[in-house]
Amino acid sequence: MTTFPDYKDNEQEYSLTVSQFAKLCGTTRDTLRHYYEQDIIRPKIDPNNGYHYYSASQISSFFFISTMRQAGCSIAEIREIVHGSSREAIEKIANSKILEMQRELYRINKKISALHLGMWILGEFGRHKQGTPFLMDMPQLSVSRTLIKNKDYAHHTADIAKDISAHLSKSIDKDSLSTFPTGVSISYEDLIKKHYVYNNIISLSFLPADNDETFPAEGTLAVCCHQDNQVKDFEKIYQKMVNYIKKNRLKACSDLYVVSLINLYDKEKEHTYYKYLFIYCRAD
């Protein structure tokens, strides 16, 4: 049975009622009762009436417990910390929770980044005429790639289903990779030869490249074009982009990136999608 110091010896320090202490900590009487029952924060008990009293010095203990709970510690882990853990043991537990939260924060930031990038691309639709190339400064992006195994037969999405699956599986397994926005690339060499085959599955991200699984994009200046599925012949758009680069004496320094942003259905259940195309360039 847990024993407490004599109440009279601590009457001056332990002067806060349960309600007062709960208000100071921004918590509830029920929470304090639970913590008392779990023996992780101890009030002093007046033996004459059984009332519980807390010390102002215990406020920091309450917030330490709350912080550790928010960090994912169980009541049992906290009880172990409170009752007899060494400083080294406390540091070990705290550092393990910090690492877990940092990983979770990275995953959250990756999701935020993916949505920001997707909405940035979506916002570009309408700024320029569809199917008409234009030159613009792109934000700094990082790219992850999965090589298509059988490039010579990679003409349509159906031809690369297994490659897409492999790319997405890799992205899900590794925290540093994004699954959205995702698309394909066509080498510029194939593009000018009118040999329209995909060479990579690609994903884009605003997060910095780690130079292991993700790589910095080839620049920021790019010839871009966007189109929905109202245009059936994307080969004409490909040639427009190549002609734009030649006409403006630019030097292509990347593959053609084709990002499929989103698939939508209108009220008539008609299927539409948006594609954003760009090739990084520099002045020749």
Within this chain, domains 7-85 and 109-283 share the same CATH topology? no
Segment 82-131, tens digit of pLDDT: 887 678 888 888 888 889 888 888 888 888 888 888 888 877 777 888 88
Residue 232 banded pLDDT, cuts 50, 70, 90: low
Alpha-carbon gap, residue 102 to 176, rounded angstroms? 13
Alpha-carbon gap, residue 2 to 110, rounded angstroms? 47
Predicted pLDDT at 10: 59
Q: Quick check: 261 and 275 in contact, CB under 8 A?
A: yes
Segment 166-225, tens digit of pLDDT: 888 887 767 666 777 888 999 999 999 999 999 999 999 888 888 778 899 999 999 999
CATH class held by domain 109-283: alpha beta
Predicted pLDDT at 197: 93
Predicted pLDDT at 234: 79
Long-range contacts of the stretch 229-233 (C-beta < 8 A, 24+): 229/271, 229/272, 229/273, 229/275, 230/130, 230/272, 231/130, 231/131
Segment 48-82, tens digit of pLDDT: 999 999 999 999 889 989 988 888 889 988 888 88
Residue 137 banded pLDDT, cuts 50, 70, 90: very high
Residues forming beta bridges with residue 278, ordered by sequence position: 224, 257
The domains of the chain are located at 7-85, 109-283
CATH of domain 7-85: 1.10.1660.10
What are 128's two structure tokens? 């320029």
Q: Quick check: 185 and 117 in contact, CB under 8 A?
A: no
Predicted pLDDT at 4: 46
